[in-house]
Structure 1
Amino acid sequence: MAKSRTVYVCADCGGTTPKWQGKCPHCNAWNTLEETVESSTPAASAHRYAPLASSSPVRSLSEIEARETPRQPTGLDEFDRVLGGGLVAGAVVLIGGDPGIGKSTLLLQALASLSTTTNVLYVTGEESAEQVALRARRLGLQTGNVNLLAEIRLEAIQAAVSEQKPTVAVIDSIQTLYSGELSAAPGSVSQVRECAAQLTRLAKQTGIAIVMIGHVTKDGALAGPRVLEHIVDTVLYFEGDTHSSFRLVRAFKNRFGAVNELGVFAMTDRGLRGVANPSALFLSQHEQQVAGSCVMATQEGTRPLLVEIQALVDSSHAPNPRRLTVGLEGNRLAMLLAVLHRHAGVSTFDQDVFVNAVGGVRITEPAADLPVLLAIMSSLRDKPLPRGLIAFGEVGLAGEIRPAPRGQERLREAAKLGFSIALIPKANAPRQAIEGLEIWAVDRLDAALDKLR
């Protein structure tokens, strides 16, 4: 008779321990151990440690022929951009996001488009078959060739995939599946880890591209063990406000393409539609110039984007002035204010400072430093920046302006959208003039602020 034992599994690293502890002994993370019941049957152990793919002899790396990986376009240009050009045979993609943001809608649209040229399978564990059919009818999709399976048992799903032999299979969602070889409940750490490993093994052995939808926690991270993101080939996240009509899909991991690639969609009554000119979403629609606004040229993967940075500086009525950012890193704002005081003589110790990236986009690159400081100075002086100004550049602790990568592409995108002045690091100054764009190249923060006086 199979024996069961209670173990505690870390949600971050997947390590196990026989008793509960406040800190995981494997990765030292606090409050991440979750209780689960683990079966110790020999069959389960043998099944769990089956080889990921067929064994092959040891060869020299130089003897292996490197071929370009063929891709299967999904028919959604923005989705293909994030994936790196399309789906790869045998790839496993994990996509996460807040409830109701459009994960199932996007993948159902992709399968409807793929079904015209190849065999596809949609496995739903959260909704009934009738609910999926109603969504497809509401979106006006042609789903006559889309095969649907309403099932949460892993073994039944594996059998259906082996029988149907689809080119692309969607699992909605990985947290609803369970394996009969484990006694834990669906959604537990051990079930999520085991089901994801089995599906990944199936994808690698058969060449089927599998796309899994994952739940997220209240902090926005993917629910389940951290090892889930290491197992799969590509990790995509939905960003943006669910109350807005725009959705952003970002690649955080991609073994077949560039990371930090961004896809922009608009939510309509017919589903998600790709946005051809996403820079227009993140720029202001002010009829006249306003103080506290600066446009920056950022780089998201291979795509240059223009984003408006807004700042509001106001007198503080509390002992500790507030420093608040939306879409930008809060700790970096505190550092930039210290640089502004030390190297430009501008103090904000008695001012509340609020900074926002318009449109719900999240900017992590340091090239946003200079636009943030320009927007703060504009708000502090209550004086708009020159019309048609765009800026980018990293600000160091010594007050220097450091270059940003792919500066030429950022400048060309700005010139294409009608901007006339670019305040940029001296190292990013183009060798040849860009038509319609005046270049202000600076190497120090005080020199950049002098340009605007």
Structure 2
Amino acid sequence: MAKPKRRYVCSACGSVTSRWQGQCADCGEWNTLTEDAPQTVFSTRHDLSSGGRPIAFEPLDAPGSLPQRRTTGLAEFDRALGGGLVPGSAILMGGDPGIGKSTLLLQAAARIAQAGGQVVYISGEEAAGQVRLRAERLGLAGAPISLASATSVRDILTTLGSMDAPALLVIDSIQTMHSDQIEGAPGTVSQVRGCAFELIRYAKENGTALVLVGHVTKDGSIAGPRVLEHMVDVVMAFEGERSHQYRILRSLKNRFGPVDEIGVFAMAGQGLQEVANPSLLFLSGREEPVPGSAVFPAMEGTRPVLVEIQALIVRLQSGATPRRAVVGWDSGRLAMLLAVLEARCGLNFSSAEVYLNVAGGYRLADPAADLAVAAALVSGLADRPLPKASTWYGEVSLAGEVRPVAHGGIRLREAAKLGFASAYAPADSSGEVAGIRRHDIAMLPRLVDRIMGDT
């Protein structure tokens, strides 16, 4: 057997190097390289073609039954999960500190326990008394939850093995767990990977829905090895600004349901409350339109959400370099859109500062937002408000074409439901929706003409 080699793994991005250094060469983080447990390197003469146990194959059309989901009692949480908790599934939930991950899971655990399901809540960051105080503040002190504060995976699995398998097991958080069979402090790559593997194996064998709370790095991604996201069935991100009352639970990976589905909550004195109509949160509600404001019907999974896009154009008097500031949208896509408006429409943004904001702290990734952003930019540049009660959506190409996007009918129906009278969109086959007038826009210069009032 060959001599094992040392290797060091970055706890921020998971990259591997053969020697230790102060800064990770891949992600640029400092003091994140930790020595991983050495791997056993076998000789090339080691043969794995015999001595194993034969496995049984099954046909692809073998009869089977769909898993019976268990609802959490929170409709927005169930929506993000794809319909509820699947027995034997592993869920990883990440989010900024203080965003409300523990509060949400405690509320869901209490609903399941009150409905007759056995729930085990293991806290590795807080004492049991702290969790009880939160439950009392939320009015959930009477929920029959089995609560414990522990960090040893061996102790947790030994205790779970001596009792009936629970319907829900919450581990808060996976970075605080440790195994005495793995070298390294809690939170290292090897510890997180090994502890998660043991907990997931228990969940699969016993049909328990497992929820792992994960820490995040300063850029918002889940801390620890990237392989952790591959091991679990569902990856969820709890987003939002602590200065705002709303929170968005977004599904990033789901083996049992649609991806990019969201659930919207509002933080209140009694915990997180569900928001049935999130469009009302992201619209200003003003009576008269103002320049630089456009409403965009976004699609989050299967749910349409109307958001307001705001643009401010400031002309510079001196030769200073104009600034571009973006909140809630891709800055690279804004630069591309500004270039298209200058090259195809003859507008001049080179001597002006451009500020773009998605109201309410919402984050947009839908490419159909191009037309709404362009409308807000042109409206802000011309200092003319857009037509009242109008929505805008469509993808803009480098040639200035407005390309069709998916789910046009769903976007129009949501806009009509909230009282919008007109929609400016690309020509597609989504058809007409009662109560809303549609204006087809094929080229971006046509949009500029409408806003500038040349036609």
> TM-score higher than 0.5 here?
yes
CA shift at 1:324, angstroms?
Answer: 1.4
Deviation of the 1:10 alpha carbon = 3.7
8 Å CA contact retained: 2:21, 2:33? no
Aligned pairs for 1:158-173 within 5 A:
158-164=157-163, 165-173=165-173
- 1: CA distance, partners of 2:9 / 2:323: 39
Give, in whole Å, the separation in 2 of the partners of 1:196 and 1:99. 21
Shift of 1:188: 1.1
**1:437 partner letter:** I
Alignment match, 2:70 = 72
1:88 matched residue in structure 2: 86
Aligned to 2:221: 221
Q: Tell me, yes or no, if the aligned pair for 1:234 and 1:255 is still in contact at 8 Å.
A: yes
Residue of structure 2 in register with 1:108 after alignment: 106
Task: Confirm or deny: 8 A CA contact 2:89 2:209 kept in the other structure.
Answer: yes
How far apart, CA to CA, are the structure 1 residues paired with 2:264 and 2:319? 40
1:418: Cα distance to partner? 0.4
Instruction: After superposition, give the CA deviation of every residue in 1:26-45 in whole Å (9 maximum; x if it has no partner).
Output: xx66658612353789xxxx
Deviation for aligned residue 1:24 = 8.0
Let me know the Cα RMSD of the aligned residues.
2.4
Aligned to 1:390: 391
CA contact (8 A) 1:39 1:181 kept: no
Q: Structure 1 CA distance, aligned partners of 2:319 and 2:223?
A: 38
Whether the 8 Å CA contact 1:115–1:143 is kept in 2: the answer is: no
**2:132 touches 2:141 (CA, 8 Å); kept in 1?**
no
1:424 counterpart residue number: 425
User: C-alpha distance in 2, partners of 1:325/1:17?
Assistant: 36
Structure 2 unaligned segments of length 5 or more: list them: 41-52
Kept in 2: contact 1:91–1:233 (CA 8 A): yes
Counterpart secondary structure, 2:219: coil
Identify which range, 179-188 or 106-115, moves more after superposition.
179-188
Match in the other structure for 2:50 = none
Matched, 1:271 2:271: yes
Deviation at 1:160, TM superposition (A): 2.0
What amino acid maps onto 1:395 in structure 2? V
**1:15, 1:194 → 2: CA distance?**
17
Give the C-alpha shift of residue 149 in structure 1: 1.5
Q: Deviations over 1:195-219 (max 9, x none)?
A: 1111111111111110011111111
Answering whether residue 264 of structure 2 is matched by residue 258 of structure 1, we say no
Q: CA deviation at 1:183?
A: 2.3
Where does residue 58 of structure 2 map in the other structure? 59
- Name the residue aligned to 2:46: none
Q: Is the 8 A contact 2:99 2:238 kept in 1?
A: yes
* 1:69 Cα offset (Å): 2.4
- 8 Å contact kept, 1:39–1:182: no
The aligned residue for residue 402 of structure 2 is 401
SS in 2 for 1:439: strand
TM-superposition CA deviations, 1:359-411 (whole Å, max 9, x none): 11110111000000100111111111010110100000011111111110000
The farther-off stretch of 434-443 and 361-370 is 434-443
Kindly report which structure 2 residues correspond to 1:129-140, keeping only aligned pairs within 5 A, or say none.
Answer: 129-140=128-139
SS in 2 for 1:71: coil
The answer for the alignment partner of 1:361 in structure 2 is 362
CA deviation map 1:312-337 (0-9, x unaligned)? 01113553211111110000000000
| Structure 1: distance between partners of 2:242 and 2:55 | 48
Query: What amino acid maps onto 1:352 in structure 2?
Result: E
**1:405 aligned counterpart, secondary structure:** coil
SS in 1 for 2:250: strand
- Report the counterpart of residue 35 of structure 1 in structure 2: 34
Count of residues paired in the alignment? 435
Q: Which residue in the other structure is 1:193 paired with?
A: 193
Give distance in 1, aligned partners of 2:127 and 2:5.
34
Partner of 1:118: 117
Residues 318 and 11 from structure 1, CA distance in 2 versus in 1: closer, same or farther, beyond 3 angstroms?
farther
- Once the two structures are TM-superposed, the CA of residue 277 in structure 1 deviates from its matched residue by 0.9
Matching residue's letter, 1:139? L
Distance 1:337 1:180, change over 3 A: same
Deviations along 1:126-154, one digit per CA (max 9) or x if unpaired, are 00011000100011015441001110001
**Counterpart amino acid of residue 95 in structure 1:** M
For 1:304 and 1:131, locate their aligned partners in 2 and report how far apart those are by CA, in whole Å. Answer: 38
1:431-450 map, 5 Å: 433-450=432-449
Opposite residue 446 of structure 1, the aligned amino acid is P
Superposition deviation, residue 162 in structure 1: 2.2
Q: Which residue of 2 aligns with 1:288?
A: 288
TM-score of the aligned structures, taking structure 1 as reference length: 0.91
- Is contact 2:409-2:433 (8 Å) kept? no
CA distance in 1, matches of 2:445, 2:16: 55
Instruction: Say whether the 8 Å CA contact 1:12–1:226 is kept in structure 2.
Output: no
1:6 to partner: Cα distance: 5.7
Q: Cα–Cα, structure 1 residues 163 and 382, in superposed 2: closer, same or farther, change >3 Å?
A: same
- Identity in percent: 48
When normalised by structure 2's length, the TM-score is 0.90
